[in-house]
Chains A and B, each alone.
Chain A
Amino acid sequence: MRISRIVEAVLFASETPLTAEEIARAAEALDAKGVQAAIEELRQEYEREERAFQIYQLADGYQILTRPEYAPHLERFDSILGLARLSQAALETLAVIAYRQPVSRIEIEEIRGVNCAAVLRTLQERGLVEVVGRAEGLGRPLLYGTTRQFLEHFGLRSLEDLPRPEDLAITLQNR
């Protein structure tokens, strides 16, 4: 049995992204490096054979997903798992949290100029943000950050994958 087939089996059976370390638990002979090599081998194989799916890297892990060109066909199914799109308010709030985390509600509201309590609650319920700590100072406000689910929702490998407009780096540094 080839190592890459074991990795393939694990990826096939999973509904969520798995990290290389998690996949490596499948066999004694496996380690994270071996998993990565096996995934590369599989990726090339899928590419070569023009499979309808590919192994994608997201949220620090790997997951088998269908290729984008098949989306129109899959969308014909009345699925329960379709990705529910976020509202403009949710996207703006997430943008502030993603780039400024850890960040308090007050800071988010100062940037957006509107009350964000309800949208924050929704984002928390959807598991896209979570409380990551408390700030020092008056009232010790809760600080919010993004979750692994956030990365999965936007198809990002890690926070490093967030779009980085040039001037933003300055803003981040100044804090």
Chain B
Amino acid sequence: MTLRIPTLSGSKIAADSTSTEAFVVELEQFQGPLDLLLHLIRSQNIDIFDIPIAQITDQFRRAVERVEQRMSLERAGEFLEMAATLLRIKVQMLMPRRPGELFEEDPRAELVRQLLEYERFRELARSLAEAESDRAQHFGKGYIPPRPAPREVILPFDVTLEEFLTIARRLPPPPKRAPHRAALRTVTVEEKMAALREALARRARLTFEAFVAPFRTRTHAVPSLLACLELAKQRFLRLHQERAFRTLWIYRREDLEDR
């Protein structure tokens, strides 16, 4: 088995093709180990279907070693796991194949598949970014926020600096710029009560989870719970929960007609 040293084109790499020292990458700029590996492969014009695993493994480990200490444990773990995978592949490639294993898959195959798949999604992410840029060129109503009403301060003409500063200090601080939140439709308890009545007209019981499942936001969950409590108070339904955090069952009250 031979490890192919790729032909290096491009100026990023030192003339000595076996050198890994010259290959300096800034790890922070990479999303993760796959992103880094792809960079190593693509920037050196390496054939992805014939990765020189020993060379890439070295470069990868050097890149990680330098910054490992500064990374969060989890992020470091992700890179180290890949380093281990590369080493395992390297060892597998060095092992002689027995005759019977003639058709065994190339140890690199799974990694290559993973790299290609990730690369494709990275491309798609790029096209999404383009779509985002195009969209950002269009503005809807409300883009320019209303101007806050001016506060009138009438100063006498003979104002001293001190008086001026006293007044200046009384001015309210500039408003904090809050991130924009899309206005959510306000969900009312009444609305949820109606929905509950309707749901319980069709069946005798349901779980609270099922009732809020289509929405999954606090804006819906809170009025839903309040609606349950209100209807329970009105003796329209009965709530049952074996213990805290267990499934909350909503039962239709069969004695409704009695009232």
Q: Pick the contact of B143 from A79, A89, A98, A155 — CB < 8 Å?
A: A79
Q: A67-B138, A80-B180, A154-B128 are in contact. Are A111 and B121 (CB under 8 A)?
A: yes
Report whether B120 and A112 are in contact in the complex, using a CB–CB cutoff of 8 Å. no
Report whether A95 and B124 are in contact in the complex, using a CB–CB cutoff of 8 Å. yes
In the complex, which residues 94-133 of chain B have their Cβ closer than 8 Å to any Cβ of chain A?
114, 117-118, 120-129, 131-132
Chain A 74-110, CB within 8 Å of chain B: the 1/0 string? 1001011111111011011011101100000000001
Report whether A88 and B138 are in contact in the complex, using a CB–CB cutoff of 8 Å. no
Interface residues on B, range: 35 or more
Stretch of A2-10, A26-34, A42-50, A161-169 at the chain-chain interface: A161-169
Q: A92-B31, A95-B125, A113-B33 are in contact. Are A155 and B138 (CB under 8 A)?
A: yes
A112 to B122, CA, bound (A): 9
A131 to B132, CA, bound (A): 23
Q: Pick the contact of A68 from B31, B138, B143, B216 — CB < 8 Å?
A: B138
CB distance from B126 to the nearest CB of A (A): 8
What residues of chain B lie closer than 8 Å to A68, measured between beta carbons? 134, 137-138
**Which of the listed residues B82, B121, B178 has the most CB atoms from chain A within 10 Å of its own CB?**
B121
Q: Is A36's beta carbon under 8 Å from chain B?
A: no
Interface residues of B (CB under 8 A from A): 31-35, 74-75, 78, 82, 114, 117-118, 120-129, 131-132, 134-145, 177-180, 182-183, 216
